[in-house]
Amino acid sequence: MRGRIMKGIAGFYFVKSGETVYRCKARGIFKLQEIKPAVGDQVEFEVIEGNDDNLITEILPRKNCFVRPFVANVDCFAVVTAVARPAPVPALVDKLLVMAEQAGTDVVLCINKCDLAANTRKSSGRKAHESMQMLQSVYEPVYPVVLLDQNDPEGYERLRELIRGRTVALAGASGVGKSTILNHLLQDERMQTGSISEKSQRGRHTTRHAELFPLDEEGTALFDTPGFTSFALTEIEPDMLQHLFPEIEASLGGCRFDNCRHAAEPECAVKKAVAEGRIGQARYDSYLALLKELEEEKKY
């Protein structure tokens, strides 16, 4: 039979075929070949009568596969950041965006917890408001952006329109609200979400495993994934990075040196675009930081 892995827990994979979910194990050979089935994989499996241990026999070719989050066959990443609690980390957002560009998937940037930016008479509200404006000005020129606030259904409706019919992975730091967004889109409380205690400002029901949720009759499906604070980009040549920032790519061609990496080089068209405001300073800073990381990785 053929199906799709919806979640994997402790060596078991839950494979959906039609309306039925089968609990399966993976054939031993996968381990020897160092292949790990991923949530989102399309698989062939055998149903073993009278036994819970149905067997995944084959993983069908993947459109793509990621390490963090560990998911396969993604059409689009919904990269999530909060305006506060936790404070946005543009370097992490940009890394996820680069990962998506590398794989050629679409991207939607979700700016979440916008309700925290509403009361600008409080200093925490002012700070959140500034973060919201910063995120909008940096990302709106480059990617589709949705503003979300758990008390306002309109944002979720816009997001639903943007992702219709596709398999979308929520990705971002822990506590930014990925599971909450999924909950709103599912319009029920199937997922557990935690409330951040005012003191610790940390979510209680952190997502531990990637899981795929069918959303509607039109084939839309959403991966909920665990949050993380850092990860390493792999298999990107330093010279490739400039093509993974769409606004940098758009400024290429005018540099003095053909092999310009747009860092210390003189007469650089990219730096000129930054100075003229056509490329956001924050995005350029992320580019430089990632370039350094990739160049250092190359040295070893």
Ligand X SMILES: Nc1nc2c(ncn2[C@@H]2O[C@H](COP(=O)(O)OP(=O)(O)OP(=O)(O)O)[C@@H](O)[C@H]2O)c(=O)[nH]1
Which residue's CB is nearer to Zn ion, number 146 or number 255? 255
DSSP 83: S
Interaction residues for ligand X, span 164-193 (CB under 6 A)? 174-180, 193
Does 238 engage in binding with ligand X (CB under 6 A)?
no
Which residue's CB is nearer to ligand X, number 159 or number 268? 159
260: partner contacted, choices Zn ion, Mg ion, ligand X, none (Cβ within 5-8 A by kind)? Zn ion
Does 210 engage in binding with ligand X (CB under 6 A)?
no
Does 88 engage in binding with ligand X (CB under 6 A)?
no
Neighbouring CB atoms inside 10 A of 65's CB total 16
Rounded to a whole number of angstroms, the minimum distance from the CB of residue 292 to Mg ion is: 31
Distance CA(167)–CA(163), nearest Å, equals 8
Rounded to a whole number of angstroms, the minimum distance from the CB of residue 31 to ligand X is: 28
Does 33 engage in binding with ligand X (CB under 6 A)?
no
Rounded to a whole number of angstroms, the minimum distance from the CB of residue 239 to ligand X is: 33
Does 207 engage in binding with ligand X (CB under 6 A)?
yes
Closest CA to 145 of 160, 131, 157, 135: 135
Instruction: Look up residue 1 and give its two tokens.
Output: 């039979």
Long-range contacts of the stretch 205-210 (C-beta < 8 A, 24+):
205/179, 206/174, 206/175, 207/178, 207/179, 209/7, 209/8, 209/9, 209/39, 210/7, 210/8, 210/38, 210/39, 210/40, 210/69, 210/70, 210/71
Q: Where along the sequence are the contacts to Zn ion (CB under 5 A)?
A: 255, 260, 262, 268, 270
Does 226 engage in binding with ligand X (CB under 6 A)?
yes
Rounded to a whole number of angstroms, the minimum distance from the CB of residue 139 to ligand X is: 18
Q: Where along the sequence are the contacts to Mg ion (CB under 5 A)?
A: 178-179, 207
Rounded to a whole number of angstroms, the minimum distance from the CB of residue 78 to ligand X is: 11
Does 149 engage in binding with ligand X (CB under 6 A)?
yes
- Backbone dihedral region of 218: left (phi > 0), alpha (psi from -120 to 50 degrees) or beta? alpha
Does 89 engage in binding with ligand X (CB under 6 A)?
no
Does 196 engage in binding with ligand X (CB under 6 A)?
yes
Burial class (CB in 10 A: 0-12, 13-18, 19+), 137: exposed
Give the torsion sign (CA, 231, 233, 235, 237): negative
286: partner contacted, choices ligand X, Zn ion, Mg ion, none (Cβ within 5-8 A by kind)? none
Distance CA(25)–CA(53), nearest Å, equals 6
Residues in contact with ligand X by the rule CB under 6 A: 112-113, 115-116, 148-150, 174-180, 193-196, 203, 205-207, 226-227
